[in-house]
Amino acid sequence: MIRLILHGCNGKMGKNVIDAVKNSSKFTIVAGVDKINSKQDFPVYSRLKEVKEPADVVIDFSFHTAIPQLVEDAAELNLPVVIATTGLDAKEEALVLEKSAQIPIFMSANMSLGINLLVKLVTQAAKVLYENSDIEIIEKHHNQKLDAPSGTALMIAKAINDTLGNTFNFTYGRNPSSGKREKNELGIHAIRGGTIVGEHEVIFAGRDEVLEIKHTAQSRAVFAEGALKAAEFIIGKQPKLYSMKDLLEEG
Ligand SMILES: NC(=O)C1=CN([C@@H]2O[C@H](COP(=O)(O)OP(=O)(O)OC[C@H]3O[C@@H](n4cnc5c(N)ncnc54)[C@H](OP(=O)(O)O)[C@@H]3O)[C@@H](O)[C@H]2O)C=CC1
Ligand SMILES: O=C(O)C1=N[C@H](C(=O)O)C[C@H](O)C1
């Protein structure tokens, strides 16, 4: 049995990971970490370092400001971590990278298989189409989401830029003073409303033709199940920063 600590256990994704573990024969949750000591089937602590139960791996769906303490504690305890939280600033990302020299850390803004395939398809399309089309990303999420644009939208935009040698400047939404679109813009637009789980659409708008590649998450279960796969994958790995690409390549 893989012994899991769930960081952010009281949240929307925390609940979904608890359900995914109930449906899995491989995992057991030995402890949770969150800001509030909620009633769960496992003990809940206010930081990772306080957890008394022995564990094999940590899964995190919390808030970006929690990440520095999480990776510091995980490195001290020598525990692998799956970070699913989005919205990290540059300093927080740099610390994750630094700590990945001590422990295996898996980080992906989106744990679903479909989005990771979308990234592949979009970068292929971008190579063919970028000279003659304008690329825009639209993401839609529920009205409780704290970060914008989504981590996934940024991941897609960065993958396009990596593929094309940093051709694009990102434009976050447009307003009355934005003026005419520049050729080297890549627009990223965030919609927030209701209970939308997560939609990401990449639009290649050319002359007289438009290609749209879209992913819709229909429930949070896909993210929870993906996080469990990532947790299983990093246990026993060498210290490094791993991504969904590493998991998919291993098959
Ligand atoms: N990579 C992926 O596939 C996915 C990533 N996400 C990301 O995961 C994160 C969580 O999403 P979601 O579950 O919807 O958000 P929620 O706000 O529902 O849950 C986050 C939980 O983390 C808690 N938390 C906040 N700060 C800390 C801290 N310092 N230490 C421990 N716990 C803390 C929150 O407590 P409180 O409410 O009291 O602040 C809350 O219980 C977001 O960044 C989201 O974008 C979401 C879905 C998929
Ligand atoms: O907050 C969410 O809900 C989600 N966040 C992730 C992101 O920011 O990309 C992934 C998913 O779309 C759901």
For the domain that residue 17 is a member of, what is the CATH number? 3.40.50.720
Q: How many Å lie between the centroid of ligand 1 and the Cα of residue 34?
A: 9
Q: What is the pLDDT along the chain (251 residues), one digit of tens a residue?
A: 999 999 999 999 999 999 999 999 999 999 999 999 889 999 999 999 999 999 999 999 999 999 999 999 999 999 999 999 999 999 999 999 999 999 999 999 999 999 999 999 999 999 999 999 999 999 999 999 999 999 999 999 999 999 999 999 999 999 999 999 999 999 999 999 999 999 999 999 999 999 999 999 999 999 999 999 999 999 999 999 999 999 988 87
Q: How far is the CA of 178 from the centre of ligand 1 (A)?
A: 33
Residues 87 and 60 occupy one common structural domain: yes
**Element spanning 250, H or E:** helix 244-250
Query: Residues with Cβ < 8 Å from 192, sequence gap 6 or more?
Result: 140, 141, 142, 143, 145, 148
As annotated, the binding site includes 8-13, 34-35, 84-86, 108-111, 142, 151-152
Pocket of ligand 1 (CB under 6 A): 7-8, 10-14, 33-36, 61-63, 66, 84-87, 108-111, 147, 151, 223
For residue 66, the ligand 1 atom closest to its alpha carbon is: 29
Name the closest-CA residue to atom 11, ligand 2: 198
Same domain, 100 and 118: no
Q: Would you list the DSSP string of 2-35? A: EEEEEETTTSHHHHHHHHHHHT-SSEEEEEEE-S
Counting ligands in written order, the one closest to the CA of 139 is 2
Same domain, 120 and 66: no
Tell whether 226 and 102 lie within a shared domain.
Answer: yes
117: alpha, beta or left, given left = phi > 0 and alpha = psi -120 to 50? alpha
Q: How far is the CA of 180 from the centre of ligand 2 (A)?
A: 30
Same domain, 151 and 169: yes
Q: Which of 86, 113, 137 to mutate to test the pocket of ligand 2 (most atoms within 8 A of CB)?
A: 86
Say whether 145 is catalytic.
Answer: yes
Q: Are residues 139 and 101 in the same domain?
A: no
Q: Verify whether residue 120 is a known catalytic residue.
A: no
Q: Find the catalytic residue in 145, 189, 200, 215.
A: 145
Whether residue 232 is found in the same domain as residue 161:
no
CA dihedral 109, 116, 154, 83 (to 10 degrees): 10
Q: Are residues 10 and 91 in the same domain?
A: yes
Angle at the Cα of 218 from the Cα atoms of 217 and 224, rounded to 5 degrees:
70
The residues, any chain, with a CB within 8 Å of residue 83's CB and separated by 6 or more, are: 60, 67, 70, 71, 96, 105, 106, 107
Q: Model pTM?
A: 0.97
Residue nearest to atom 2 of ligand 2 (CA): 145
Domain range holding 242? Answer: 2-111+220-250
Question: Which token pair is 197?
Answer: 């789980």
Candidates 7, 140, 141, 215; catalytic one: 141
Looking at the structure, tell me whether residues 19 and 48 fall in a common domain.
yes
Q: For residue 180, what is the domain's CATH number? A: 3.30.360.10
105 and 225: one domain?
Answer: yes
Same structural domain for residues 68 and 13? yes
State how many domains the chain has: 2
Q: What confidence score (pLDDT) does residue 38 get?
A: 85
- pLDDT recorded at residue 241: 98
Which amino acids are annotated as binding site for NADP(+), given as ranges? 35
Do 18 and 68 fall into the same domain?
yes
